[in-house]
A and B are shown apart, each in its own frame.
Chain A
Amino acid sequence: MMDTKSKTFFTLLLLIIMGSVALTYRRAVILNDFERVEGGEVVGNDL
């Protein structure tokens, strides 16, 4: 199986990915920090 160094590396990478996913959720669902476009025009950006 995998050596300890590699296991630590993949665990760290997984934590970074989870952090990135959490921040994506914050941006999209909590802050609604994105452009909403309708008919080619921006109709809203909550930030």
Chain B
Amino acid sequence: MSDSLLCPWETPFLLLFSSNVPPLLYYSHLPVIVAALILGFFVYHKGGTLASTVLGVVLGLFSFYGLLDILIWASNRSDIVLFLWSLQVLIEVLIFAAALYLVHLVIKKRDASFASKLIFGLVLLPFILLIPTHYNLIGIDLSSCNAIEGVLALYASYGFEIFFTLLIIITSVHAFFSSRDRALRRQIISLTTGVILFLVALISGNLIGSFTGDWNLAQFGFFGMPIFIGFLTYLIVEFRMFNLKLIGAQALVLALVGLIASEFLFVNNATNRLLVSITFAVAVFFGFFLVRSVKREVALREALQEANEGQANLLHIINHQIKGYMTKARYVFDDLMSDTSYGLSDKALPMVKQGYDSVTEGVNFVQDFLNASNIERGTFTYTFVPIDFEEIVKNVSQGQEENAHEKGLTYTLNIAPGDYKMTGDKAQLGQAVRNLIDNSIHYTPTGSLTVTLERKMKSVLFKVSDSGVGLSDEVKPKLFTKGGRDKDSQKVNVNSTGFGLAFVKGVAEAHKGKVWAESPGPGKGSTFYMELPAA
């Protein structure tokens, strides 16, 4: 090796250890590299989905990038530094591109189109081809072994990185506002925050290095990776993302053990070595039990979920069957009442009428359950056609007015003049309106009921106000959930299923609308709102 190629420090020991490497670099890099490598390896091999493969690639590339960083700091050979530094410029951009691909796969839940892959590939191609040229790195400053960067490393790489980061933000923000699924929204926030913090930490340290020549700050850029791993762990444990169940806890323990193990690199006397050894042993011991307890908890949760799903399926089937039997019974009662040829006596007729009413209530009860259950399963189908919501309200109101009067309630229908045309499912919206009025009738022992329809700027507001039992603060949050009713609700309404309002919420959300309820408190009446976008 010619002396003209060497930088002024000793040849590194085992390629990694040299006096030129700031001690903080080992501390910031080695545990992170090990943790990312372990997590990447598990995700790549055990995940089995495209998203987990791409996550494995991101973590693998990052580990390799970190290793190159230590090698560059340690090496005193300018030719090796130039080679590794060139690779880093390439890998850095590839990490950003892979992160964009990962975010797309997780958020959109499908692969990107071949055309978009081809476009991104063609955009990156000149960059890849120019890596071995002077446009990338011009040379090396022998006093520090730092590269003299060309336009590719100085501008193009950061340009690509900022471009990919912006695309990640745009993709996530768009998906966040297009989705009404709370779980998916939480996934989007967690993944994007983790990815962006990781990428911004990586790019900011390097930007400072490239434009000031001070590369000491770049080593702090690696602290973005533990944050990313933290968010990934949350996603894996909470949502079983990337098809992994336990990897979160295992990766956390391994990262902790790796972190403590890395202390061995800096301790230089027997007492400290002993202390680090004890800490290491304690971490391994407790880590083992932590992983074991998490494994048990996950197994229990899975068994419980499986049992719940089985029970829900069974209930669904039973209810479906009961509905069939009850509907048949209703036809029989109806036939008996309407066909005089059966010659029912006046004494028997009220009994048959009572049977008919009871079976009708039973059918409605079971139907409420089935509707809410279908909405939750996502098996409910809607037929969206142009409709007039005013007409639906008027039709439903006619029948419900009779029910209210039968109970001795005052019933008022107020429809403000306006255009109530929109696109929606006539039958399901009718059922939702029926459920809301029905709910108020059931929970208003005496007094009045006012049904109002108003036209807003871009929406239609339907509301039902009653002088009924009102709502406690406790019940408000669970009001529109399946089975979500007040603990005393069955004292007022013995037929309460707790599914009627959940169905209303499902229908409103399917029409990109919303539902809510207001009440001054228990015993003070309540108002239920359903707002739907107008045509």
Q: Are A35 and B114 in contact (CB under 8 A)?
A: no
CB nearest to B111 among chain A residues:
A2
- Residues in A neighbouring B5, C-beta threshold 8 A: 32, 36, 44
Q: Are B142 and A36 in contact (CB under 8 A)?
A: yes
Checking B87, B111, B128, B137 against A34 with a beta-carbon cut-off of 8 angstroms, the contacting residue is B137
CB nearest to B8 among chain A residues:
A38
- Encode A1-40 as 1/0 by CB contact (under 8 A) with B: 1110110011001001100110111111100101111110
Size category, A interface? 20 to 34
- Residues in B neighbouring A23, C-beta threshold 8 A: 131-132
Checking A3, A9, A26, A44 against B4 with a beta-carbon cut-off of 8 angstroms, the contacting residue is A44
Q: Are B90 and A6 in contact (CB under 8 A)?
A: no
- Residues in B neighbouring A26, C-beta threshold 8 A: 132
B93 to nearest A CB, angstroms?
11
Most chain A CB within 10 A, of B82, B94, B125, is at: B82
- Residues in A neighbouring B118, C-beta threshold 8 A: 9
Checking B4, B90, B141, B143 against A20 with a beta-carbon cut-off of 8 angstroms, the contacting residue is B90
B149 to nearest A CB, angstroms?
12
CB nearest to A38 among chain B residues:
B142
- Residues in B neighbouring A38, C-beta threshold 8 A: 141-143
Q: Is B80 an interface residue (CB 8 A)?
A: yes
Q: Is B79 an interface residue (CB 8 A)?
A: yes
Q: Are A37 and B139 in contact (CB under 8 A)?
A: yes
Most chain B CB within 10 A, of A17, A42, A45, is at: A17
Q: Are B114 and A36 in contact (CB under 8 A)?
A: no
Q: Is B494 an interface residue (CB 8 A)?
A: no
Q: Are A37 and B90 in contact (CB under 8 A)?
A: no
* Given A1-B50, A6-B117, A37-B148, A17:B90 Cβ within 8 A: yes
CB nearest to B78 among chain A residues:
A36
Q: Are B132 and A45 in contact (CB under 8 A)?
A: no
- Residues in B neighbouring A44, C-beta threshold 8 A: 4-5
Q: Are A16 and B128 in contact (CB under 8 A)?
A: yes
Q: Is B282 an interface residue (CB 8 A)?
A: no
Q: Is B138 an interface residue (CB 8 A)?
A: yes
Q: Is B129 an interface residue (CB 8 A)?
A: yes
- Residues in B neighbouring A32, C-beta threshold 8 A: 5, 79
Q: Is B86 an interface residue (CB 8 A)?
A: yes
B277 to nearest A CB, angstroms?
40
Checking B83, B121, B131, B139 against A36 with a beta-carbon cut-off of 8 angstroms, the contacting residue is B139
Checking A2, A24, A45 against B83 with a beta-carbon cut-off of 8 angstroms, the contacting residue is A24
Checking B87, B94, B142 against A43 with a beta-carbon cut-off of 8 angstroms, the contacting residue is B142
Interface residues of B (CB under 8 A from A): 4-5, 49-50, 78-80, 82-83, 86-87, 90, 94, 111, 114, 117-118, 121, 125, 128-129, 131-134, 137-143, 148
Interface residues of A (CB under 8 A from B): 1-3, 5-6, 9-10, 13, 16-17, 20-21, 23-29, 32, 34-39, 42-45
Q: A6-B111, A38-B142 are in contact. List 8 more A-B contacts (CB 8 A).
A: A6-B117, A9-B114, A20-B128, A20-B132, A21-B90, A28-B82, A35-B139, A44-B5
